[in-house]
Structure 1
């Protein structure tokens, strides 16, 4: 999208997603994330519109058809050469911005983008206890706790002792001494 001076109102939402920056172009004009299917769709649609404007008039006459066909073949060769040239050049580090050589590769002179870089959206804390501050049971805390648990299991099957008879395996509600005393 070129010559956009204002963000369309349908793109302004009250709550952004975690991937709000996907498909956003940086200062060089390169996509910051090419893995986004939506940004790929936008690029394909843009190219399709240009091709449609070229191809529709070319179908009206044979002379125009041959001229467009020849031009598209030359363009395909140029694209393949540029693609090979770009694959030979090492990718610049993310901290660098466009240089003269990159502009020469694209074959056009670009002015520096006056719009500021797109910042990360503010993250709001979710509802409820954060995962990192959750209380973990002893068996989940680590090997030290698991070693203590196995040692306590060897001492007693349940890990607790009855308050009445001081034996393990039951509690005071099910104590055989208390039940027989009643």
Structure 2
């Protein structure tokens, strides 16, 4: 490689798990399916030109499907270590996560945080997901009930150029858990 340093990255961009909670109001179990619990980015090389403050890596599309008892209002909770504009990735990077599309029982819906979806709170359609967000499907600001919620998520990993200063191969990971429950 004639003196060029290289870095091989393996990103665990998203991992999903279901939190099936029995709640007093809705005794429902939810199941979650995730198309790719692990996203491999392969070998990456530092750009030859002067790099910007952040190096954006290839975006990935992920499909998350949550299925609960019919007629349930679902809450999708994103858990992970916060950093910059998203979830921690490696020692100094982040993974930005946004919702490209949300479908409840096959129909397009908006997403709001659980707190914003409470009566009288209002709130805009949420597309950027951050650690700790608890999202619900809404239409015209009203929480919706359904049996299946499908989220098309786009992850964008970003690294600082200093993370490419390695002598050998290194694995860089991000960890994100997704819990689904009813309320």
Q: TM-score range by the shorter chain?
A: under 0.3
Which structure has the larger Rg over C-alpha atoms? 1
> Comparing both chains, which one has the higher relative contact order based on Cα–Cα distances under 8 Å and sequence gaps of 6 or more?
2
Q: Normalised by the size of structure 2, how large is the TM-score?
A: 0.21
Q: Normalised by the size of structure 1, how large is the TM-score?
A: 0.21
